[in-house]
Amino acid sequence: MAIWKIDELGEFVTLKRGYDLPQQKRKNGELRQNKANERLSTMASFYKSMALKKVGSRIRIPKRQYMGESATFMKQLDTWIASEIDKRFSNI
């Protein structure tokens, strides 16, 4: 009966990542050319350029056009909606 010797794996074989695949099945590691990767690479290049800007350089952020709630606007909207409802249902 044989006696098994216990050793560390790195002592008799060196494993390298990717060498267990045959050469014809290996990929070169490039991204596929599709819309998702194109958008990702565009966004990634934008954020990379933003991260590598010099300290003290100016970043232009455009004003967001948002119309929040306003009491006068809501009152005007309510009167307009009421008039449109009256106009549409007055013929029924």
Contact 64, 70 (CB under 8 A): no
**Residue 41 confidence class, pLDDT cut points 50, 70, 90:** confident
The neighbour count for residue 37, using CB atoms within 10 Å, is 13
pTM: 0.31
Distance CA 21, CA 27 (A): 10
**Residue 1 confidence class, pLDDT cut points 50, 70, 90:** low
Mean pLDDT calculated for residue range 62-88: 87
